[in-house]
Structure 1
Amino acid sequence: MKNIYELIVIDLDGTIVDAHGNISNADKIAIAEARTLGIRVALSTGRVVDACRKYITELGLDGVHIFFDGALVYDPSLKDMIYSQPIKTETLKEAIAFARQNRIYIELYAIDRYFVEEINWADKIHREFFGLHSTLANFDDIAGKETIIKCELMVHNDAEEAKYQRFIEHFKDKLRGSIARTPAYPDVRFVNVVDPRVSKGSALEKLAEHLDIDLDRVMAIGDGTNDLSLLEKAGLKIAMGNARDELKSIADHVTLPVDKSGVAAAINKFILEGETGRGKPRPYDGMDGGHMKFRIVVEKDPETNEFSAYCPELPGCNSCGMTEEDAVANATEAIKLYLEPSEIGKECTGKVCEVEVNLD
């Protein structure tokens, strides 16, 4: 039976990425199993492209995703831009002048880097948690020369709250601000400032049109107020157990929190085990025991020095680690959860490990 949902759109922070910056194996496996049914999976986030690459790799995803809170619909692997709505140059120059006059810390984001005029506490968060490195610049040299897709304000105390409110009030007809959060920094609000026409919901419309999928056949999962428009457009609206009350109030279903693999619980319920699904398939169901062998391939990112490990035969069993051993161990654990073997062993030679499982 054909599944009634053809696309799952998932927010990142607080939805599938937990307070430690990790995605649970249960979430990875559920997404991989949904994809074996031919269901497309896309991320929808306020993050910039580079801050999402490791998660796209870890989940084994390809294709188009939503970035910059909806200002960019983009395929990172092909560098194919489906939709972009940058901030108007005139408005950007006004925002820069207002920020300087009122001593408001502001960041400017192009598609592949971000600019600051000063280094403060926010730089450490971007560098250590999101893997982003700022470019120190005079904003007068940026406005009109770089395509700026979003600005970002950072709020973590009452003084910054007052400045944020003053900024948003001043530009209420020219810019839109939406608040994003991550469990890793519960006291910090990341304010995405974009063109007023931008939202995750409008970006979902562009994505669905590109994929030729009706919005009624989209399942959207989120946790923050910037996910409101996303869920409003989707046929099936899923709020995380840790979601804001505003999101829960419009949801069709409230799943488990991010630290309890709420994404996996929702996919299992409505895609894999629900009445509209085909049961919970595994690629080797029906085999009468026996030994199987899989490869785990290890690669190193030259920029971050982080290792990624993936199993070509099992697209959901990808993982990352700061050492080769950690990456392989995490991928092996994912295979164990996926196949539930009675025995498992591995032997590594160079950058390839051979994993042998016993399904008896």
Structure 2
Amino acid sequence: MNYDIIALDVDGTLLTDAHVLTAETRDAVREAARLGAEIVLCTGRGPMNTIPVLEELGLSGTIITHNGAATIDAASRNVLHQFDMDNAELEKFINFCREGNHHFDVNTAFDLMVLGEIPPNVAAMYSGYKITPMLRDNALPLPSGLVKFTVFGEKEAMDSVELAWDGWTHGLQHIRSGDFFIDVQHPQVSKGDALKQLAMLRGVEPQRVMAIGNYFNDVGMLTFAGLGIAVANSPDGVKSAANALTLSNEENGVAHALHTYAW
């Protein structure tokens, strides 16, 4: 085995566009684990819809969730580390989304909350990701321990939101986590930093880390890892940050990368 840690993004990388884990990809990941690599799912998802993917792989262990904002022990459901946002800073983003009629949700390490109602198209999105949101009265103050705020909409709408927020000065960070999603989080949050922290805890040098991803929130872990691999469906900016390319998520790109580089 050429790598001690293999970090895998989930949506758009490990899973197909229909959020399916294919048998070929599952078997390749299991083989990497059998040969001694620690498999770390490193995702923008929360733990409640990441742990089932880990279980489908037949694995357990540590997962990096919410783009690195919460590192979780999957077996015990314990939070090993998390970055909380400043709720006062977050109010500006909430007001913007309400004024523009953009759907958003807020997340603690384990809970996803919607402040208000859920339109049918948004309900379908949550269902596709196997998420059951909690409905919270928008008149209530924001809860403590929030690690992620996500706005969702059509690509053109998210392009406009991103452009507007790029011009803001604030104490949080926003990052495009998909064509239809923008995440707002603590300024120190990144998949790359969380993966680096885990590797240091394990005593693993970056050269012994492989990472595979597909979007801009994966760039940090692709550049930290000794071998960062972008799947073929990645935007050009993500591909240019990677050391190597593999097939798309629709073509078992993770399995192809593991068979090519891992052992």
What's the TM-score once normalised by structure 1's chain length?
0.68
CA drift of 1:156 comes to: 0.1
Hey, what's the Cα distance between the residues in 2 that align with 1:14 and 1:158?
Answer: 19
Whose RCO is larger (CA < 8 A, sep 6+)? 2
Hey, what's the Cα distance between the residues in 1 that align with 2:260 and 2:158?
Answer: 41
Question: Relative to structure 1, is the Cα distance of residues 6 and 174 closer, same or farther in structure 2, using a 3 angstrom cutoff?
Answer: same
The structure whose residues are more often helix, as a share, is 2
Can you give the 5+ residue segments of structure 2 that lack an aligned partner in the other structure?
Answer: none
CA drift of 1:12 comes to: 0.6
Amino acid at match of 1:36: R
Question: Relative to structure 1, is the Cα distance of residues 110 and 140 closer, same or farther in structure 2, using a 3 angstrom cutoff?
Answer: farther
Query: Paired residue for 1:345?
Result: none
Hey, what's the Cα distance between the residues in 2 that align with 1:28 and 1:104?
Answer: 36
Count of residue pairs the alignment pairs up: 261
CA drift of 1:8 comes to: 0.3
User: Where do 1:1-360 residues align within 5 Å?
Assistant: 3-116=1-114, 117-120=116-119, 121-126=121-126, 128-143=127-142, 145-156=143-154, 158-159=156-157, 161-170=159-168, 172-181=169-178, 188-272=179-263
Name the % identity.
27
Question: Relative to structure 1, is the Cα distance of residues 82 and 260 closer, same or farther in structure 2, using a 3 angstrom cutoff?
Answer: same
Hey, what's the Cα distance between the residues in 2 that align with 1:130 and 1:112?
Answer: 15
CA drift of 1:254 comes to: 0.8
SS at match of 1:232: helix
CA drift of 1:150 comes to: 0.3
CA drift of 1:139 comes to: 3.7
Amino acid at match of 1:266: A
Any conservation in 2 of the 1:82–1:210 contact (CA below 8 Å)?
no
Question: Relative to structure 1, is the Cα distance of residues 237 and 123 closer, same or farther in structure 2, using a 3 angstrom cutoff?
Answer: same
Hey, what's the Cα distance between the residues in 1 that align with 2:93 and 2:259?
Answer: 45
Amino acid at match of 2:75: S
Any conservation in 2 of the 1:153–1:164 contact (CA below 8 Å)?
no
Runs of 4+ in 1 over 3 A off after TM superposition: 97-104, 157-161
Amino acid at match of 2:135: L
CA drift of 1:84 comes to: 0.6
Q: How large is the RMSD of aligned CA atoms in angstroms?
A: 1.9
CA drift of 1:195 comes to: 1.1
Any conservation in 2 of the 1:155–1:164 contact (CA below 8 Å)?
no
Any conservation in 1 of the 2:158–2:182 contact (CA below 8 Å)?
no
